[in-house]
Structure 1
């Protein structure tokens, strides 16, 4: 599996990594149990910050696409194929849209919604 990032793309680097790993799984280039490069190794290979790769791995692990086994490494999760097709961002978008619609029905302005959302994110 080869991972390439486009530093000039508007898509964040960590998102590019997540998308490419999920695609490699859906295309059977990665299968359950396959080892992934360490965060440090992949960051070095791609000439990106370790935190970028760590963030991508954290999101993939949250979604049960990969699993970290401590010092033994990071591996493709046994349910990766099923889980890599699930888009949590779409779920978040739907939930937020429902909340925005409810706020608008209450008479809130977009400005009030933004201010309240920002305050809620900081608490």
Structure 2
């Protein structure tokens, strides 16, 4: 698997990494249970901050595209091919759009929504 980061791309580096790993899975360039480079190794290879790689790996793990096996390393999840087709951001956006439409129909102002959202987010 060859990962290339484009520093001129407006897309954040972690998003480029996620996209390329998902494409590699979808195109069978990496298979379930294949090992991935460590965070430190990939950060060194790509010459980016290890926190950027860590963020991408955490999001890929959340989406069950990769899995961490502790000290043994990080591997492609057995169900990665199916899971890499899921776009969580798209789903979250549609959920918010539906909720905001209902709230506006009920007469709730943008300010009230923002304040309430911040309160709920802070308290959960």
Report TM bin, short chain. over 0.9
1:10 lines up with 2:3 in the alignment: no
1:54 lines up with 2:87 in the alignment: no
Which whole-Å CA distance do the structure 2 matches of 1:9 and 1:121 have between them? 31
Q: Deviations over 1:60-93 (max 9, x none)?
A: 1111110100111100011000000011111101
TM-score by length of structure 1 reads 0.93
Q: Which runs of 5+ in 1 are unaligned?
A: none
Q: How many residues align?
A: 123
Which whole-Å CA distance do the structure 1 matches of 2:71 and 2:80 have between them? 21
Q: Which runs of 5+ in 2 are unaligned?
A: none
1:122 lines up with 2:122 in the alignment: yes
TM-score by length of structure 2 reads 0.92
**1:104-115 to 2 correspondences below 5 Å:** 104-115=104-115
Moved over 6 A (4+): none
